[in-house]
Amino acid sequence: MTAVKCLAHARRQFTDIEDLFPHECAHVREALATIYGYEAETKTMTPEKRLAHHQRYSAPVMERLRHWIDEQFQQRRVEPNSALGKAFAYLQRHWTGLTQFLSRCSAPLDTNAAERALKRVVLHRKNALFFRTEHGAAVGDILMSVIETCRVNGVRAGEYLVKVVNNVRAVRECPTAWLPWTAAP
């Protein structure tokens, strides 16, 4: 199995050095912007149609980019140890993972959605340093998980938790009937 890598992270390699190598960074960023443009066109497509769309339109863009990067090294237009050389090497080293969206229906272009979800976890972990006991931290972890599950499923967490607390016996008898997406108020 190949890991799906994040095109946003790959792009960041070039935005960080754009002042030093404006032409080369612009070339990479424009290619990636084109890919994201094609992604925007797939919002209403099925995963299979999305894959076909990317294979038809994005694959040639990515292949031209890969060829251009290889050419930069072969023609010695870039020093391998320079910041630009390292950014190009990052793309080359992670190419298979960065292009999974061209071969797998469900592969995203980036990990931005997952990272947004993890921000809450990181904030909770930071705040959990101030729980008085380990048990208190564990309860906080459970509540954070329930609240995030509610948010992802479009359920108002406060209302859901009140409903669960008011129906403890029924919850214990049949927990699956009280999951946030089945017991929405």
Rounded CA-CA distance 185/183 in Å is 6
Give per-residue pLDDT as tens, 43-68: 999 999 999 999 999 999 999 999 99
> Would you kindly state where each structural domain of the chain is located, as residue ranges?
7-110, 113-178
Residue 184: pLDDT above 70? no
pTM, full prediction: 0.70
3: left (phi over 0), alpha (psi -120 to 50) or beta: beta
Q: pLDDT above 70 covers what percent of the chain?
A: 97
Residue 100 pLDDT exceeds 70: yes
Average pLDDT, the chain: 90
Question: How far are the Cα atoms of 83, 133, 157 from residue 149, in angstroms, in the given order?
Answer: 41, 24, 9
Report which of 109, 105, 112 is spatially closest to residue 51, judged by C-alpha positions: 105
Burial class (CB in 10 A: 0-12, 13-18, 19+), 133: exposed
pLDDT in tens, 127-153: 767 778 888 878 888 888 888 888 888
Q: How confident is the model at residue 121 (pLDDT cuts 50, 70, 90)?
A: confident
| Rounded average pLDDT over 77-94 | 96
Task: Render pLDDT for 152-183 as a digit per residue (tens, 0 to 9).
Answer: 888 999 999 999 999 999 999 998 889 888 86
Q: DSSP for 83-144?
A: HHHHHHHHHHHTHHHHTGGGT-TT--S-SHHHHHHHHHHHHHHHHHTT-SSHHHHHHHHHHH
Confidence class for position 124, pLDDT limits 50, 70, 90? confident
